[in-house]
Structure 1
Amino acid sequence: MLIDLQSVFWEDGPYSESDRRAAQAAILMEIDAAKAAGTPVIAIRQEWSIPSTKLIARLAMKGQAVAGTPGTGLAAPFADIADHSIIKRVQDAFETGELDQVLNSLDVGRLRLVGLDFNYCVLKTALAARNRGYEVTVVGPGTLAAASTEKAQALLAEKGVIVV
């Protein structure tokens, strides 16, 4: 699963060019491995569309990723790669139920997560997946974070999420 690899976050986020290059290489390796194994690639895109979250995004996030604004599409390195694309309205990609339906239809039991931000959307989605019984692996080199991930990694380990 590719989480929030949208141009507004990828290109304009707080991540250094060198960190983005390293993460991009790891993400593309994950995608290549998934495609070679016949495993579906699912892109999750953030679009703040609930009135309260739109307001928060406008106030605290410079209006980034508000539904209908520029930059909500996948960043160029990841465009047109995913087999499925799902829009999420909050940090947890399972919130609307659409991801549950897609995973059920594909008979998926294991998830590998890459994307951003490790401390927010990757973390919330990984925990929600574990709560649903999925085996979850977060590919550390394929994630970015604006702050230390130490606490998030400890919480994931406590909940049985593997971080490689």
Structure 2
Amino acid sequence: MWPAVLLAILLLAGIIGYTIYGYRRHLESTTGQKIDLNARPNSALLIIDLQEDFTKATGKNAYDPVLIKNAIAAINDLVTLANQNGHPVISVRQTFSGWYMNLLVKLLNNGRGGPKSDGLDIDTRLDGDIDHDIVKSCADAFREPELEKALVQQKVGKLTIVGLDGNYCVNSTINAALNRGYDVSFSDAATLAISPANWQKAKSHLLARGAHDITSGNVAAGQSRKTA
């Protein structure tokens, strides 16, 4: 009996350890090669995970519908400005990969973001022109080579990063951009977070690292700074 109990304990410990490792790796920000801002004078808007799976979901992991509506309106303002100024708009969408990750997503989050989900498309309330649509499997969008390829082609060195969730994919991608030397801005008005308290802590860390906070009343000014 005891060998079976010990085996079960070891198996459970292994599963827990593997889950924690996978979770941390999923959220980990990459480093990458430092860019030369003098050779990358252009700006781009990066929209993270604004997908129907997450914006229209119900249940414990759902965002307040009013907050979603306001955030999408703020993102649409940024898209309009980017379109008017000729800045590329890049949408990055989450599709989880790997059998174990998708098992967890199915058990814990109703399969949202899984490859078989019907809600992987961009929320239809997003207006304006999207220049690039990139699918990622981890929190950090820079893990997808297609993103850096697009930024190199467009000579982008200044990024405004918005979307959801501020504590996870947005935070991870902003840190990855800072690791590479990008001039990065974000906006409270255009960012959703299930845990506002944790987002406040994340913002403080991002500001300390040199990211810029574009407030809802200063979006136009922030975009103008980026074209300078």
If the length of structure 1 is used for normalisation, what is the TM-score?
0.94
1:112 match: 160
Amino acid at match of 1:20: I
Q: Deviations over 1:105-140 (max 9, x none)?
A: 111000001111111111000000111111110111
Instruction: Report deviation, 1:155.
Output: 1.4
2:129 and 2:84 mapped to 1: Cα distance?
A: 13
1:10 aligned residue (55, 79, 87): 55
Structure of larger gyration radius: 2
1:155 match: 205
Amino acid at match of 1:33: L
Amino acid at match of 1:125: T
1:79 and 1:48 mapped to 2: Cα distance?
A: 25
Q: Structure 1 stretches of 5 or more lacking a match?
A: none
Alignment of 1:7-156 (within 5 A): 7-12=52-57, 14-78=62-126, 81-148=129-196, 149-156=199-206
Which secondary structure state, in structure 1, belongs to the residue aligned with residue 142 of structure 2?
A: coil
Which one has a larger percent helix, Structure 1 or Structure 2?
2
Which secondary structure state, in structure 1, belongs to the residue aligned with residue 141 of structure 2?
A: coil
If the length of structure 2 is used for normalisation, what is the TM-score?
0.68
Instruction: Report deviation, 1:80.
Output: 7.1
* Identical-residue share of aligned pairs (%): 35
Q: Deviations over 1:23-51 (max 9, x none)?
A: 11111100000000000100000000233
Q: Structure 2 stretches of 5 or more lacking a match?
A: 1-45, 215-228
Amino acid at match of 1:132: R
1:57 and 1:64 mapped to 2: Cα distance?
A: 7
Moved over 3 A (4+): none
Which secondary structure state, in structure 2, belongs to the residue aligned with residue 153 of structure 1?
A: helix
Instruction: Report deviation, 1:69.
Output: 1.7
Q: Deviations over 1:39-64 (max 9, x none)?
A: 01000000002333223322322211
Point out the more displaced range, 20-29 or 77-86: 77-86
Amino acid at match of 1:99: L
